[in-house]
Structures are given as C-alpha cells and as structure tokens.
Amino acid sequence: MSGSSTPLSSTKTLSTAPSPKPKANELEALFFNPRIPASHLIEYIASRPQTSSTIFVYDLAEQTGFGTLTKSWARSGKESAPVVDLQTRAGAGLTLVGRLSEGTSQDGVITAYTSTKGLSMMASSLSYLPEAGPTSRLVLQVPNLLFANDALSISPSLAPLATSLPILPSSLVILLSATPQEAADFAHISYQLTSHHVVHIFDHYAAAREIGHSISPLSPIPVKENSSVEGVLAHAGYSFFDYTGDSEAETVVVLLNGPLALAAKAIASRSTGFGVISVNVLRPWDEDSLRDILPKTARIIHVLDDVPTALTQGFLYPDVFGALLYHEAVSAIHGHRVTPAQTQSYVSKEDAFIRFLSKFVPASVKNVSALLPSSAKKLFLFSTPNSVLTSFSHVLEDVFLSNKGVSARLLTDHDAFSKSGGITINRMLLSPKKDVSPFLPIPVALPFEKDEVDFLGILDPSLVKSHSLVKYAKPGSVILVITSWSPAELLANLPSESLASVAQKDVHLYTFDAAGIASQLVDASNTDVVENVLVTLAFLRLYLGGAAREDLVAIVAKSAFEGVVQGTSLDAVNSAAWSGLVDIEIPAVSEEDVTSSAPQKDIEFNAVVVESDDGDSVATGAYVGTWHDAAKHILFHDAFTPSGLASEASLRPEIPDDTFLVTCVVNRRLTPLEYDRNVFHLEFDTRGTGLKYEIGEALGVHGWNDAQEVLDFCDWYGVNPNRLITIPVVAGEDNMHTRTVFQALQQQIDLFGRPPKSFYTDLAPFATSSVDKHSLLFIGSAEGSSTFKKLSEKDTVTFSDVLRMYPSAKPGIERLCELVGDIKPRHYSIASAQSVVGDRVDLLVVAVDWQAPNGSIRYGQCTRYLAGLKVGQKVTVSIKPSVMKLPPDNMQPLILAGLGTGAAPFRAFLQHRAWLLQQGQKVGPVYYYFGSRYQSAEYLYGEEIESFILDGVITRAGLAFSRDGPKKVYIQHKMLEDSEALATMIQDQKGVFYLCGPTWPVPDVYEALVNALVKYKGQDVASAGEYLEGLKEEERYVLEVY
C-alpha cells in the first residue's frame, strides 16, 4: 500500500493525495505533506527530467516496493524521465557502464534503482565506470531492505556491502540516510555532487515508508564544478559523521547510519558515559573528520559491523581501526559483527538492542518505553489486503493529521506467508507534538511484542482464530473486532487461551458490524466509504474513553469529515456508529476451561506491497503476461537461468534435482489384456545423457497431466490455454519462467492431484457465492474434518473437482497456479543393473486406477502418463538414492521378498549377481520370495526368474500365488518353510533381508523371521525382535514399503 492516496473522496481529510500521473504543481505539493512517505519524494527527486536523463529500475528494487511510482509517472509521459526495466544478475551493472561509456547516455546523468543485494551483484561491473562529470554520471538510489532467511523475513542489514565494498571503485560516493528528512535531503544531495558517481542507501525497512512526517525540500545548493563532498554536505547542514551523547564520554559506539544508529543515538541521548558516532558518508572515508568528532575523553571504541555471517570480515572496523590506531587517547578498539538475523532481532524484538549495547556501554536506559513520551499511544491494526477496510488506517491517520497538536506516525507492513492472500499490519504511534523525543523507527518503538499496544483493531474476524493477536494488548487496553458475529459467536471463535488472556488482563473487548450498519444507511454499491467512516467514529469513541459523548465525537468528526457521507448526514452516521458498538462481557475463565487447541500463528513482517496506478500490486509471484515475457527468457537466457550450470532447454532445468532427458524404447504390458491390472515394463535409452545410477536406486519421473483433461478444464474455467503466464519455477526459487497456460497446467501444476485441507480455506475468499464461501470455510475448519476426510479418502476429489463443486470460487489463473502448487516427481525402483544393461534404465510399473463413489474412473497421475508413453517419446527423469543397497561383501547371503511390482529392485540385484558369476567371482546364496495373485497373469519376469534358478543365481525360490490354490498362500508361508536356513543366514552368515512392496505383509514377515530365530537359534521372542531391530542399524533388515 503506497499510502499516497485513498479511495475515500467524500471527506475533507480523505481527499486523494497527488495522483500517480501528477501535474507539476501537484508534484511540488509532495513536500510539506505528511501523507507522503520519504520514499515517494526520493522517486520524485530522481525522476525529474532535469535530474536524470534515464531511470533504470531493477527488479530487486521493485520487490522492495520502490520504483513503481516512477514507472507510473513515466507512462503518463509528463514531467518524468524515461524508464527502463532491468533484471538483476551477475554483471548487471555493465548495462549502466555501457550507457555511460559509449551509449546513448554518454552525456547524461542516469539513475538506477536497485537493492543492497543488487548493488553487491553489480559491484564488479561498476569498477569499469568512466570518470564522472557534470553531465555524465551515475546515481544509484538503493532502498535498504534485505530479504533474509530464504525471503521468509526482512532485515535492514547492510551485510551485502561486506563483500562488495572492497571491489567498488574508490571514486564512488556512498551516502547513508536514516530519518525521512535525511532520506529526501540525501536524495537531493546525490544529484548535486556533480563530479562523482553516487550511491544513496536509505532506510526502506521503516523510516522511508513511514507516513506522518512533514518533509521540507532542501534549500538550493550552489553547484560548482569539482565541488567537494564535504562542501556540498556542509551547505545542506550535514557532515560525514554525527555524534550524539555525553560530550565527555569514555566509551563510543561507531556504526552506519540507519535504524540501529537511530536507536543507539536515542539511548545515548538519555545516558551518560557513552556516545554514538553514526556514519553518514561511507565513501570517501574521511579519517580526519572521524578524529575531529570523537570526544577527547574517548578511550574505548566499539564498532558495529554488518556482515553476512559471523565469520565474515566487516568493512567498517578496518576503516575505524586505521583512523584511530595512533589516536593518543584511544586505548582499545573492539569490533562486533552483526548478522542480518541479529539486526532484524535488534530492530524488532523488545529491548533486544538495549540488552546488546548494555554488555559494553554504560546505558542508563533499560527499555524502549523510556525513550518515548509518557503520553504516547500505540496502535496495531490488522486487516487483509482485499478488505474494504484496508484504507481505514490511512483514514484514521488523516483524522489525527488534521489536528496540528498531534504527531501521528503510521507504518504499513505485510505478512505474506501466514495467511493466504496475506495480512496487512498497520502500526501507529500517537503523541503530542509538544513532547519532543528522539526519532525512533517504528519497529523499534512499537515491536510485535506481548502487552505492547493501547489499542488493537482486528478488521478481519478470521484473524482472531488463526493468529495470536490478543497477546499484543496491554492490560486494561481496548480491542475492537470488526465483525457481524454476535457476542456469543465471537467468544466461541476466540481460542480459550486468548479468552483467558483477555480476562486476565482486564482488556475491554468490543465488536462492531460496520458492513451491516453501512448497508442500513446507504445502498449496497456505496458502502465502502461509509464503512471506513463508521469504524473511524467507533474508534474515536473508544479513544476518547470516559470523556466520550456522542455530541463530542460528532464535533471531532466534523473537523475531519464533510457533513454528508455518500448522501447520508454525518450526524446520522455518527449516531449509528455510537449505537452499533457492542461491549462484550468477558466470562470468568478458570484453568480447567483452558484447553489445548491448534497453535495460533505469529505475525511477522516479510513483504512490502505497493499499489500501482491501476490498483495492481508489485510483488513476487505468478502473473498473466504477454509474449514479451517469453521473449525475454529466450533472449536473455542467462538472466533467467536458476543455476550457473549449463542446462538442456527441454529438460526443465528449474527442477532442483539433476535431470536427464531419456527416450522410451520399450513399453510392454506384462499382464494379459483381459486381466484387471495393467503391469507394464518400460525401458529408456540413456545414451548421451550422462545418467548414472546405482543398484537399488529409484528413478524420479516428472510426469504430465493428461492433455485432453487440461484442455477440458481450460474450456470450463474460461481461460485461453494459449495465453502466456509467468509463474515461479519448481521448488519456490526466486526465478520465474514463462509458458502457456496449457503448458503450465499440463507439465507443472498438480491440477488433478488431491488438495490438502488448507486449499479449501485458501479458496474461500475467491467465492462470490455465500453458500460456496461458507462451505469451503467449513471444510477447511476443524469442525469440517469428517467432511474433508470423506472428500479426500472416499470421494478422492482433485483440485479440479473442488473447483467444479464450488463454481463461484474462480481465482485468476495465475493465482490458481500458486494455490494448487507443483506436480511432484513420482519415484519408481529401478528394475535394472547398469553394469549389465549399459545405457539403459528399466522400470516395472502398475497402472493405478479406481472407481470413485460417483462412478467415475480415477487414474494415478504419473502411472497414467507412463502407461501412455510411445516409443521414441522423451521423458524428464532424475535419480533418487534408496535404502535398497547391495551389501559390501558379495558372499553375504541375500533374502529378497517382493510383492507385485516390489520385484523391481530385486531384478537389478539378480542381474548384478548373475554378471558377477559370469566374471568368475564367488557370490553368496540368494533366497528369492515373490508373491502375486495368479501365476499365469502376474508372475512378473517369470522367464528371467526361472533362468536365474537354472543358472544358480537364485539358490531357492519361494513363489506364492495367493489365488491359484484352494488355500491362500503368501510369501510368509514360504519363508516358514525355510525357517532354519533363514535363521542361519541372518544370524551366522551376516545375511541381508529385503522386503519391497505394500505395507500389509510387514507384520507377518517380521513374525516369520522372529519365529525362525526362536526355533533354531535359541532366542526368545523379545530378544529375537530386538535382534532384528538392531539389524536395521546395520542395514541388514531393509524395508521399502508403500
């Protein structure tokens, strides 16, 4: 959410801020407007035609939510520099170097937007930058927001600089800003340094995205050729370093300007005995300025270095050490390496940074609350991105901004992973403007911690049950839930732990049916604005506390809103809001009443969403595109290749396992055509592929969905199968690839697989029918477990079936692909030994099909694909290791027990043993047990088995065909006939027992072996069982069952 505008236009304070297609006078109004975040001002400054000749927007910048407005302004064609989109890859900076050296921007100032990670990837290329000049130079605007921990969380760490700074050209100026005003000023300064290439890194983790700061433009700086960095900064009121704290401090902490520096300076301003130096200019490094700003009393220096890992050398410590090595007063310089995870913890965990600093500085401040005005009020507002109340936080911010005596700061974050569609998190900090306090980033001042906030607004009632939100409320605070639920329904949906917490903390709990009240005031098409105004009025009543009266709330409202809202008088709206607020009576909760339930999820900031001018969001994920996207993947293959390894284009190189393209040369049915089970033998030619496999390993087959079923689905869903879609590659890596909808649904998306329970819940928000929506929510809830079990296990419904069952739930095809997920490779035991068959791999497969209760025939996705393979058809495969390994000593006896297609790996075993005998090597005995229903139909590889028996490869064969005789015979019965030999081989000859096939015979086979050891080796039942369990550790009792 950009925060630059709101859809509410019927009020004074809710009128839209500057349009994404601004006029010049509107753009000037961006300054002094507290509704505009600093990041928008940076984009405005950078994108002016008089500032930049061209803007290069890298994908990594957009993923942090920076660059969207610049692109919108460029599309409008007015008062904006042209924009070029670029992908980030190794050597990406060469485009910029080329444009400045010989290209069309040779005589222009070009600007690039990238992230700190992107800067590190282009560092080596930037070393080739030509000399900067007044009319030819590069400015990099870099939002500092690092996706850490596999993009599951976000950190404001500058760790990427640790590896890239040494190779960046020394002539590059690197500016670091922390506050919103600094961010805008440094953006302006970066274009006034006319003799330098400049990198400006600003805090996009929080400060630059905050709303509520009236930022003033920087006074004009007289630009002279060869103006020094120091001179330009000084004219703007800045210096290379800032010092905060005791003027006679003995201990000084040095760190880069950013969120941690702001926190450290706030602590130092309230403490004695130590001070903080923040680095505003990292390059050029000015040792004299550092020595000048250091207190003469300083003896001990602590340097905080951002590093990728604790084992990485930082870049700030060597600079500080070199500057102060011979300083007469300094006796010690200590380095502290801070990883991205630590940085994230220090800015998001209550008092974590204070505890860290207190280990080596004499900090008087013990908690963050001491750094805030005592009158400060803290608010959390939780909603979902598609809710009509998404704008409420900005409406409320506008109300407070209209009061000149109140400071209202708002930060909007997102949790993209804990709920389908994401959660919008709004943190608001209110305080009187007269109460001056050091600037603290909102994540530090208002962390996601227990007992933190004075007001908790839950704008989506489903979050009450799924997420642990109640814990954030202070004792005696207020919780407002926007819902149509009755008090009884709310209490029933609150987990007992949350209810106990509300009761224990004496929290005041209210509900408010904004949608229901709005529908009574205006017609259904105009309720969005009214709902937001209603919730604002309800909040004002609660905010005013005991002083609240209906007429007083009306007076406050009239200073913020017009007298008429969507054709209804504000007095009527206020009256409805006043009467609609429901105070929930909290029942007494005893310890016995608190029952264990599914754990609630925690909230975490892990995404930034920015609205574009057409309402779309810039975010990673699938999207419907055009042929241009596919062309980019072909023309710029290296940029879109997930690995640096060479890959075969037809192989699906995005799959994380090493894959091989093999050719089907044999597809032969082994069972009679009239038999009800189709067991078939496959052979694949591997020549020229490099595929190697060991005996007993499995072949992963990357199967496709049936083409006709995919086309039928596209026709029903109303999507053009030839339309292009860009989706994340398999395994959730950062890379994307573009293919047709048909290709995606046939080759990647598991459309005909079985959906998990979460799919029903995730699909529900897309249902336009109330019946469909509530049915899906019920199935996905704990109460719907029996219904889900019936659908999954009895009806065996697929993703496609669920969509047809609830036809009003039709997410866009790109969103559907993300909801369904990818087809997983199916693994089959390899039925050949490469030592024997050479460039070939064999499989033994049974086609899986069954009849659903509705009479339709279901098929196993991959076995259906394999059964339909034609000779000459290419198949993508991978190799998976297995527990089915031959023992190291060829003389060790083998006991092989396979049922049906479980004979596959043993065919490979027998082929290898036969090959060893042909080589003249001695081998141990092999007892082969095989079971199926009919010898005439399912004696799989029967001719080969008989040949192995005649050649002495198989010492004894126990063949059990359960349906051939009057009495059913299974492999365990055949094993009982050989009990003495089996006991001897297992206990005395280090024999190895293998079982492959279904799970049902495991207990009977286990009992047969136990009885053999009891009867012939003198063990009792317990010790025999323990002996077999011990063989598992030695890999001599091996089960591969399914």
CA-derived radius of gyration, the chain: 35
Q: Which residues pair with 429 in a beta bridge?
A: 378, 409
Mean pLDDT is lowest, of 107-121, 161-175, 294-308, 848-862, for 848-862
* Strand (E) or helix (H) holding 756: none
CA atoms of 663 and 688, how far apart (whole Å): 11
- Residue 414's closest CA among 424, 405, 406, 404? 424
pLDDT tens sequence across 606-622 = 888 644 333 444 444 44
pLDDT tens sequence across 624-647 = 444 444 554 444 444 444 443 344
Q: Which two tokens stand for residue 249?
A: 């401090």
Q: Which residues contact 830 (CB under 8 A, 6 or more apart)?
A: 693, 695, 696, 697, 698, 699, 841, 842, 843, 904, 905, 908
* Strand (E) or helix (H) holding 174: strand 173-176
Cβ atoms within 10 Å, residue 771? 10
CA atoms of 779 and 370, how far apart (whole Å): 48
**Domain at 894-1041, CATH class:** alpha beta
pLDDT tens sequence across 215-234 = 999 888 776 656 789 999 99
pLDDT band at 104 (very low <50, low <70, confident <90, very high): low
Report which of residues 204 and 163 the model is more confident about. Answer: 204
Mean pLDDT is lowest, of 212-226, 291-305, 865-879, for 212-226
Q: Which residues of 523-547 are buried (b: 16+ CB within 10 A; e: fewer)?
A: eeebbbbbbbbbbbbbbbbbbeeee
pLDDT band at 658 (very low <50, low <70, confident <90, very high): confident
Residue 414 predicted with pLDDT over 80: yes
- Residue 1006's closest CA among 1032, 1034, 985? 1032
DSSP string, 81-142: --EEEE---TTTTHHHHHHHHTSTTTTSEEEEE--HHHHHHHHHHHTTPPPPBTTBEEEEEE
- Residue 251's closest CA among 364, 145, 148, 153? 364
Average pLDDT, the chain: 86
Kindly list the distances between the CA atom of residue 923 and the CA atoms of 441, 697, 887, 895, 1036, in Å, as whole numbers in the listed order. Answer: 73, 21, 11, 13, 17
CA atoms of 930 and 927, how far apart (whole Å): 10
- In this prediction, residue 105 carries a pLDDT of 52
Find tokens 């590659």 and name the residue: 729
The greatest distance separating any two alpha carbons of the chain, rounded to the nearest whole angstrom, comes to 106
pLDDT band at 11 (very low <50, low <70, confident <90, very high): very low
CB 736 within 8 A of CB 727: yes
Region 840-849: mean pLDDT is 92
CATH number attached to the domain at 246-275+286-369: 3.40.50.920
Kindly list the distances between the CA atom of residue 438 and the CA atoms of 14, 244, 255, 293, 350, in Å, as whole numbers in the listed order. Answer: 30, 11, 17, 20, 17
Q: Which two tokens stand for residue 600?
A: 């609630």
pLDDT band at 366 (very low <50, low <70, confident <90, very high): confident
CB 123 within 8 A of CB 310: no
Q: Which two tokens stand for residue 719?
A: 């999507």
**Domain at 704-818, CATH class:** mainly alpha
Same fold, 34-236 and 894-1041: yes
Cβ atoms within 10 Å, residue 144? 28
Region 971-990: mean pLDDT is 94
Q: Where are the alpha helices (DSSP H) in 370-441?
A: 392-401
CB 252 within 8 A of CB 211: no
DSSP state, residue 690: T
Q: Which residues contact 704 (CB under 8 A, 6 or more apart)?
A: 746, 747, 823, 865
Q: Which two tokens stand for residue 478?
A: 């207020």
DSSP state, residue 495: -
pLDDT band at 94 (very low <50, low <70, confident <90, very high): confident
Q: Which two tokens stand for residue 937?
A: 């139909």
- In this prediction, residue 370 carries a pLDDT of 84
Cβ atoms within 10 Å, residue 563? 10
CA angle 515, 521, 526 (to 5 degrees): 65
Is the backbone peptide bond immediately before 284 cis, with ω within 30 degrees of 0?
A: yes
Q: Which residues pair with 947 in a beta bridge?
A: none
Report which of residues 840 and 853 the model is more confident about. Answer: 840
CB 1031 within 8 A of CB 993: yes
Q: Which residues contact 854 (CB under 8 A, 6 or more apart)?
A: 795
Residue 148 predicted with pLDDT over 80: no
CA atoms of 291 and 296, how far apart (whole Å): 9
pLDDT tens sequence across 538-553 = 999 999 888 889 999 8
pLDDT tens sequence across 488-515 = 999 888 888 888 889 889 999 999 999 9
Q: Taking the domains of the chain in order of start, what are their residue ranges?
A: 34-236, 246-275+286-369, 372-593, 652-699+825-882, 704-818, 894-1041
Report which of residues 960 and 20 the model is more confident about. Answer: 960
Q: Which two tokens stand for residue 831?
A: 């039925």
Mean pLDDT is lowest, of 31-45, 100-114, 423-437, 777-791, for 100-114
CB 954 within 8 A of CB 928: yes
pLDDT tens sequence across 191-202 = 999 999 999 999
- CA 704 to chain CA centroid, nearest Å: 27
Residue 244 predicted with pLDDT over 50: yes
Region 773-783: mean pLDDT is 90
- In this prediction, residue 210 carries a pLDDT of 95
**Threshold 0.85, pTM exceeds:** no
Q: Which residues contact 180 (CB under 8 A, 6 or more apart)?
A: 37, 38, 207, 208, 210, 213, 215
Residue 402 predicted with pLDDT over 50: yes
Q: Where are the alpha helices (DSSP H) in 402-509?
A: 442-445, 462-466, 487-493, 496-504
CA angle 456, 459, 464 (to 5 degrees): 75
CATH architecture of residue range(s) 372-593: 3-Layer(aba) Sandwich (3.40)
Superfamily for 652-699+825-882? Answer: Translation factors (2.40.30.10)
pLDDT tens sequence across 704-763 = 888 899 999 999 999 888 888 877 776 544 456 778 899 889 988 999 988 999 899 889
- CA 604 to chain CA centroid, nearest Å: 11
Kindly list the distances between the CA atom of residue 988 and the CA atoms of 356, 749, 982, in Å, as whole numbers in the listed order. Answer: 62, 52, 10
CA atoms of 942 and 357, how far apart (whole Å): 75
Mean pLDDT is lowest, of 430-439, 510-519, 756-765, 947-956, for 430-439
Region for residue 981 given its phi and psi (left: phi exceeds 0; alpha: psi -120 to 50; beta: otherwise): alpha
Cβ atoms within 10 Å, residue 694? 16
Mean pLDDT is lowest, of 90-104, 199-213, 837-851, for 90-104
Superfamily for 34-236? Answer: Thiamin diphosphate (ThDP)-binding fold, Pyr/PP domains (3.40.50.970)
- CA 520 to chain CA centroid, nearest Å: 41
- In this prediction, residue 10 carries a pLDDT of 32
- CA 538 to chain CA centroid, nearest Å: 35
Measured between its terminal Cα atoms, the distance across the chain in Å is 48
Cβ atoms within 10 Å, residue 862? 22
- In this prediction, residue 45 carries a pLDDT of 94
- In this prediction, residue 225 carries a pLDDT of 58
CA atoms of 193 and 132, how far apart (whole Å): 10
CB 962 within 8 A of CB 968: yes
Crossing angle between the packed helical segments 229-236 and 180-189, to the nearest 10 degrees: 140
Cβ atoms within 10 Å, residue 238? 20
- Residue 218's closest CA among 250, 194, 186? 186
pLDDT tens sequence across 415-434 = 887 777 789 999 999 998 88
pLDDT band at 585 (very low <50, low <70, confident <90, very high): very high
- CA 110 to chain CA centroid, nearest Å: 33
- In this prediction, residue 745 carries a pLDDT of 92
